[in-house]
DNA sequence: GAATTTAATTGATACAGATCAACCCACATG
DNA sequence: CATGTGGGTTGATCTGTATCAATTAAATTC
């Protein structure tokens, strides 16, 4: 592991306040790996062997049952995934795959559990991280239960706009197929949802989306502090 | 507070391993109250003033937006709710109301946060509780995304059957309106879903449901360890 | 740069579930 | 005992979204 990587990892919220020795022990046991796109990193139902962090790239969390598949979340740089399964030493509830070339930090679950036993500050940090994860899922769940497909798309566009430069033009961070799955709809429906948003100034050209009528779009989307990340 | 109540509260998973003094301090500040049905205990968007435990009865967690309302979960005896908001000192993401006459323990949020700072064992217990809550929401989310309304109903019936005596007869723990909302459908649709389940031995008489063809029902429901609580 | 694959769009149709309306039933209230 | 009142069922209709099929566009591979 390069010293550069190391300092970057140390700035992850989960490790910031951790005791140096315990951090060293964790890093000792960890793997930092580059994966191409479409590599499955974890499999729903398997025991939680690793805690993962996306350092660079993007990872899709998904689940399958009854011949259907659902995208649960997209994980970006500096974010961890499947922390709860690791802590409970329980099977993963979701599978994970890279959607693009990605750098991923993998920490053996046992090391995390050991550190959590030994290191009080670490335990406290985990609580806040877990609480945040919990609230994020609740928000996603509300998003799905309380909004139509078009509303979900509109809010997601506003979120992208906020995450990016707020220049009125956004670049989709993954393909439309995945975006559709994340929003809980089919790709065909996403196309039609974009058409529905055209009167609200949403111009689509490939993965570049131009927002020409923010006010109108916001009126339609009705972003909500208790559901969306992008509202301040 | 009666000594009886006190010992019951002490057996709640969250308090079992807690230091006696810290437990005493929390109990000192807590309120144990009886509420009639339909009392709103918490309001989405408000700051988290209290951590709640249902001691007896039942509480509905719900959220509203865009003129719609969605039931998120039903909380039964010995279960807590809105722990994450309390720990993060953030606004509630859900509202809560009693669905029947209920005994509810209310602990001021600040006392919980204090104890969490002081008491290491308590902090560790919280982690496991939070992780469990997180996994429960993920399961609910998967349930909604991966199953049809009829499948959700079938699995919920199996869950009730498991929670109760497994005698082949179950008693709905709350009215059908609420059950429908919890399953993400309208009451009208719930009626029809019950009709769909008739060929699978599901006989409805008021709030008493008889399951005459467990095998058939299970074949239809396809219960799944990674979604349902009732599968062992 | 032609060939192949994969992603995205468009149209036609099917279906699950919502909505609206009428009605029934149980039970509480004056 | 008449009268609400709210929960529940049933039927008719409507709507959002999925599905299927065909086509186009864009990205990969040779």
Average of pLDDT values for B122-132?
A: 95
Is the Cβ pair A120, B120 closer than 8 Å? yes
Q: What is the mean pLDDT of chain A?
A: 94
**Mind listing the pLDDT tens digit for each residue in B99-122?**
999 999 999 999 999 999 999 999
**Mind listing the pLDDT tens digit for each residue in B66-109?**
889 999 999 999 999 999 999 999 999 999 999 999 999 999 99
Q: Is A130 left (phi over 0), alpha (psi -120 to 50) or beta?
A: alpha
Kindly tell me if the per-residue pLDDT of A232 is higher than 70. no
Q: Which residues pair with A103 in a beta bridge?
A: A34, A56
For an interface test with A, give the residue of B64, B130, B223 to mutate (most A CBs within 10 A).
B130
Tell me the CA–C1' distance in angstroms for B206 and C25.
Answer: 11
**Mind listing the pLDDT tens digit for each residue in A90-140?**
999 999 999 999 999 999 999 999 999 999 999 999 999 999 999 999 999
Cβ contact A176 with chain C strand, < 7 A: yes
Domains B3-144 and B147-221 agree in fold: no
Instruction: Specify the pLDDT at position A193.
Output: 96
**Mind listing the pLDDT tens digit for each residue in A185-213?**
999 999 999 999 999 999 999 999 999 99
Nearest to B142 among A70, A117, A127 (CB): A70
Nearest to A65 among B123, B133, B142 (CB): B142
**Mind listing the pLDDT tens digit for each residue in B187-219?**
999 999 999 999 999 999 999 999 999 999 999
Instruction: Specify the pLDDT at position A207.
Output: 92
Average of pLDDT values for A216-225?
A: 94
Non-local CB neighbours of A35 within 8 Å, separated by 6+ positions: A41, A57, A98, A101, A102, A103, A104
Kindly tell me if the per-residue pLDDT of B232 is higher than 70. no
Query: What's the CATH fold of domain B3-144?
Result: Jelly Rolls (2.60.120)
Q: Please write down the HEC assignment for all residues of chain B.
A: CCHHHHHHHHCCHHHHCCCHHHHHHHHHHCEEEEECCCCEEECCCCECCEEEEEEECCEEEEEEECCEEEEEEEECCCCEECHHHHHHCCECCCEEEECCCEEEEEEEHHHHHHHHHHCHHHHHHHHHHHHHHHHHHHHHHHHHHHCCHHHHHHHHHHHHHHHCCCCCEEECCCCHHHHHHHCCCCHHHHHHHHHHHHHHCEEEECCEEEECCHHHHHHHHCCCCCCCCCCC
Instruction: Specify the pLDDT at position B231.
Output: 67
Instruction: Specify the pLDDT at position B1.
Output: 74
Instruction: Specify the pLDDT at position A5.
Output: 83
Instruction: Specify the pLDDT at position B55.
Output: 95
Q: What is the pTM of this model?
A: 0.95
> What whole-number percentage of chain A has pLDDT above 90?
92
Instruction: Specify the pLDDT at position B92.
Output: 97
Tell me which residue of B139, B98, B132, B159 sits closest to A141, measured CA to CA: B139
For an interface test with B, give the residue of A118, A127, A186 to mutate (most B CBs within 10 A).
A127
Is the Cβ pair A135, B88 closer than 8 Å? yes
Tell me the CA–C1' distance in angstroms for B181 and D30.
Answer: 56
Tell me the CA–C1' distance in angstroms for A126 and C4.
Answer: 49
- Residue B64 sits at the chain A interface (C-beta within 8 Å): yes
On strand D, nucleotides with any atom < 7 Å from a protein CB are 7-12, 16-21, 26-27
Kindly tell me if the per-residue pLDDT of A2 is higher than 80. no
Cβ–Cβ < 8 Å for A63, A81: no
Average of pLDDT values for A145-150?
A: 95
Task: Provide the shortest C-alpha distance from residue A3 to chain B (in Å).
Answer: 31
pLDDT confidence tier of residue B229, bands split at 50, 70 and 90:
confident
Q: What is the mean pLDDT of chain B?
A: 94
pLDDT confidence tier of residue A66, bands split at 50, 70 and 90:
confident
Tell me the CA–C1' distance in angstroms for A188 and C13.
Answer: 14
Classify domain B147-221 by CATH number: 1.10.10.10
Nearest chain A residue to B93 by CA distance is A226
Instruction: Write out the DSSP string of A152-197.
Output: HHHHHHHHHHHHTT-SSEEE-SS-HHHHHHHTTS-HHHHHHHHHHH
- φ, ψ dihedrals at A86, nearest 5°: -65, -45
With distances taken from each CA to the C1' atom of nucleotide D26, the closest residue turns out to be A206
Average of pLDDT values for B158-165?
A: 94
Kindly tell me if the per-residue pLDDT of A231 is higher than 70. no
Kindly tell me if the per-residue pLDDT of A41 is higher than 90. yes
Which B positions 110-149 lie with beta carbon below 8 A of chain A? 116-117, 120, 123-124, 126-128, 130-135, 137-142, 144-147
The dihedral built from the CA positions of residue B197, B201, B203 and B208, taken in this order, carries a sign that is negative
**Domain spans of chain B?**
3-144, 147-221
Average of pLDDT values for B127-151?
A: 96
């Amino acid at each position: 592991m390069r010293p550069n990587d190391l300092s970057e990892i140390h700035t992850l919220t989960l490790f910031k306040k951790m005791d140096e020795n315990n951090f060293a022990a964790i890093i000792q046991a960890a793997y930092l790996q580059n994966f191409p796109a479409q590599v499955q990193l974890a499999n729903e139902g398997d025991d939680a062997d690793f805690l993962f962090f996306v350092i660079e790239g993007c990872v899709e969390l998904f689940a399958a049952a009854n011949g259907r598949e659902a995208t649960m979340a997209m994980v970006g740089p500096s974010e961890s995934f499947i922390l709860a399964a690791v802590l409970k030493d329980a099977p993963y509830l979701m599978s994970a795959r890279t959607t693009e070339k990605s750098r991923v930090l993998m920490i053996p679950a046992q090391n995390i559990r050991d550190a959590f036993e030994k290191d009080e500050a670490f335990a406290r940090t985990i609580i806040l991280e877990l609480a945040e994860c919990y609230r994020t899922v609740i928000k996603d769940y509300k998003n799905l239960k309380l909004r139509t497909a078009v509303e979900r798309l509109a809010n997601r566009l506003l979120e992208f706009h906020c995450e990016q430069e707020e220049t009125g033009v956004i670049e989709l961070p993954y393909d439309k197929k995945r975006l559709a799955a994340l929003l809980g709809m089919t790709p065909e429906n996403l196309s039609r949802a974009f058409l529905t948003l055209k009167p609200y100034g949403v111009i689509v050209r490939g993965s570049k989306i131009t927002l020409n009528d923010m006010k109108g779009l916001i009126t339609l989307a009705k972003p909500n502090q208790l559901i969306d990340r992008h509202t301040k």
